[in-house]
Chain A
Amino acid sequence: MTGAQTLFDGLLVLLLVILAWVLLASKDLFRAIVLFISFGLLLALAWLRLKAPDIALAEAIIGAGITGALLLVGLGRLGSAVRCRPLPVRTTPLQRLSAPLLVGLLLPSIAAVVLVELFTLPIVASGQIKLVAAHLEHAGVDHPVTAVLLNFRGYDTFLEMGVLLLAVLSIWSLDRARHPFARDQIPAALLTLQRLLLPLLILVAGYILQRGAQGPGGAFQAGALLAAGIILAALCGHRLPPGHQGLLLRLALSCGFTTFLLAAAVTLARSGVPLLYPEHLAGSLILLIEIAATFSIAFLLAAAMAGGHPVPEAKPTAIDERKSA
């Protein structure tokens, strides 16, 4: 490792820390969110420096892109102003002292202790690298990260699909979906962009999905790219037809989870261990689960973006027509 690389790493870490502080302290929340998006992109660079290209891809698409868009939509609904400050209540001197003590003294000292511990931490062993490498030939895929995600620790990904599904369920129970633009306000440039980008996004998502077996890529990144495509289409005024908002939409949302569940049930019945794939089938099983998961993740992320359960587009009622007439 050369001096120039160390300098780059140092600058990058410094920039990330300063950016985090500035964005959290900035007065204007819109500015904070824009800085958060650039924070995510710089973080993707840091993941590359840590030799984690899978995470870099996911961070750029999910961490910076989709989270940023979600936050901007949320800001549009909440507003930037702090409403309802706490009323001043009668406190004892000790109570008044506790907050600055906690924030000004306790937090920095815990941080300092953790930092010192980190710098003196010995490298115990090379982690699970050898273990993963030893079993990689039986995994059905060649890329270690994909092997861990979908074979060795497949239950992690299985439960994660469950978490995504639960998140969308709770969003659906709290609110109904809202459309960002009225249909007649869509800029022509956006429509052109969509016509160019949508086919390309689908193509690239398929490429990244299939590439996950050998190198960086896989279901998460591909699903997030597809979700971006769905969001772009929604911005351009495309809606799910009412006939597809019922069972079909629910099937699309849950197919990742149910495919995993089926795989777990079948392997449990065959070998007594859930998600223990037979070696000659592992590759195709993983591909099947990944395709279902990609599809599901795309719809789940887009549903989270819509911010509520689907409502068929309101037809003008009799009262509305009378008003306009």
Chain B
Amino acid sequence: MMSLIDLFSGALILASLPFFVAGTLGLLRFPDLYCRLHALTKADNLGLGLVVLALMLQAQSWLQVLRLLLIWLLVLIAGATVAHLIARKALAAGHRPWRRP
């Protein structure tokens, strides 16, 4: 039997799916590196946030909730830094950002 909490968790996970799909589509279809980074870091981090929220509802204790929050924050920080480093390196290597032709 599904409880209300399980329903909420399921809904949150379902809500996260479009973000992951959008991020992946952006990675595959966007015209240049900067757009792809943008799609990947923004959409996927939001999707992951929804998944983490769903897992928090299932947590047994407050300590687990805090750990999940910490994991999400770490992914955010690491993602932002790595995206910045990649973009910086690409700019230095002379990749011009794409403009609408």
Contacts and interface: CB of A to CB of B under 8 A. Distances in A.
B81 interface: yes
Contacts of B4: none
Contacts of B84: 187, 189
A187 B83 CA distance: 12
B88 A196 contact: no
A123 to B, nearest CB: 33
Interface in A185-233: 187, 189-190, 192-193, 196-197, 200
Contacts of B77: 193, 196-197
Contacts of B85: 187, 189-190
Interface residues of chain A: helix, strand, loop or mixed (majority): helix
Contacts, number: 17
Nearest to A192: B81
Interface residues of chain B: helix, strand, loop or mixed (majority): helix
A196 B88 CA distance: 21
Contacts of A197: 77
B21 interface: no
Contacts of A187: 84-85, 88
Nearest to B81: A193
Contacts of A190: 81, 85
Interface string B52-96: 000000000000000000000010011011001100100000000
A204 B88 CA distance: 30
Contacts of A189: 80-81, 84-85, 88
A193 B81 CA distance: 7
A193 B88 contact: no
A187 B87 CA distance: 12
A200 B81 CA distance: 16
A136 B81 CA distance: 44
A8 to B, nearest CB: 15
A38 to B, nearest CB: 13
Contacts of A200: 74
A72 to B, nearest CB: 13
Contacts of B81: 189-190, 192-193
Contacts of B88: 187, 189
Interface string B1-26: 00000000000000000000000000
A196 B74 CA distance: 10
A75 B84 CA distance: 22
6 contacts: A189-B84, A190-B81, A193-B77, A193-B78, A196-B77, A200-B74
Interface of B: 74, 77-78, 80-81, 84-85, 88
Interface of A: 187, 189-190, 192-193, 196-197, 200
8 cross-chain pairs, A with B, having the tightest CB-CB distances, nearest first: A193-B81, A189-B84, A189-B81, A187-B88, A187-B85, A196-B77, A189-B85, A190-B85
